[in-house]
Amino acid sequence: MRIGVPKEIKNGELRVALTPLAVTELRAQGHDVLVEKGAGDGSSLPDTDFAAAGARIVDTADDVWASADLVVKVKEPLPPEYGRMCRGQVLFTYLHLAASLDCTEALLSSGVTAVAYETVERADGSLPLLAPMSEVAGRLATQVGAHALQATAGPDGLRGRGILLGGVPGVPPARVVVIGAGSAGTQATAVAVGMGARVAVLDRDVDRLRAAHTRFGSRIATAVSTRTELEATLTDADLVIGAVLVHGSRAPHLVSSDQVSRMAQGSVLVDIAIDQGGCFEVSRPTTHDHPTFSVHHSIVYAVPNMPSIVPHTSTHALVNVTLPYVSAIAGRGWRDAMATDPSLAMGLNTWSGQVTHAPVALAHALPYVPVENALRG
């Protein structure tokens, strides 16, 4: 199969969908790999490394899309890429369609077979292709939150509270609230605890809270996430990290604008769930060029592609988990690969102009066709 890797065009996106080592593996399996010129530069993976691994370096994105049977990306297609997709082509990337009607309609119009990393789901409910980026985003969330808390001029001149996350002897540390005890929330908690902050973890799943307590012990406080508990916890928070995910669906708005208005001046909110629409009512997508904005008297960080700020680490972590699926699709075709692996079948979001992932159809009030129908053709 001919596999294409275009350069990412989303603002600040420096990751690339394959590494030279992955190209070597795919070439050994008999596949042809096309890589757009400069696609790996942001991840410190130059064209010479891809060429040495056996990839063909092509000049433009059009060259990739026009020739590839399977296009492998990191982020969802953007408007300049919509016209490049075509019926019968397979697209494998993060899509987050429940948060984007425009992208969903573009995929349907093109007829492309779109497989989303974030909805590939194992029988135990785990999300193998989302997990490594959730880990990266979770660790980053505490770092960027700590930076935003500094009393440097922020968005609209609003300064952070000027609080050192871990405090110093005689001065208490910052209060950090992590909403969600999944993969991203656990990583955010680990960094916050490691930096010496006072951390409260909220989740509706008591088993997740139990796991967090087992891991961190008395270094954190845990509570079941209810409106009353959120109200009480947010009032004194210096940094709030939203790490809530509903598989394939829009994230719920757990923190209202009114609640944010009652937070301390210069407090910070980091919305890891912004890819799926955000879990704070006040959230709107930002970019790495301008990552924050002010609401009431708080600072909000809501960059959808957070892991791209550490692209070398993120690219390798992502390709480690996507490569087996890329190999399966390229080696057996998407239908046979999905028939063999039900977790991969869960990743099918659109096929032949139809939505094949129920949460996406529900989010946009669109007709839904079961994956089984697509596998039968």
Exposure class string for 143-155: b at 16+ Cβ within 10 A, else e: bbbbbbbbeeebb
Q: Select which of 271, 275, 341, 357 is catalytic.
A: 275
Give the sheet arrangement for strand 220-224, strand by strand: 220-224, 198-203, 175-179, 239-242, 268-271, 298-301, 292-295
Count other Cβ atoms within 10 Å, centred on residue 25. Answer: 20
- Whether 275 is a known active-site residue: answer yes
Helix runs in 175-205, H state only: 183-194
**Two tokens at 59?**
């000049």
Question: Chain centroid to CA 361: how far?
Answer: 20
Q: Select which of 96, 271, 341, 357 is catalytic.
A: 96
The enclosing H or E element of 199 equals strand 198-203
Helices (H) and strands (E) in the chain, counts: 15, 15
Count other Cβ atoms within 10 Å, centred on residue 306. Answer: 28
- Whether 213 is a known active-site residue: answer no
| Residues belonging to the active site | 96, 275
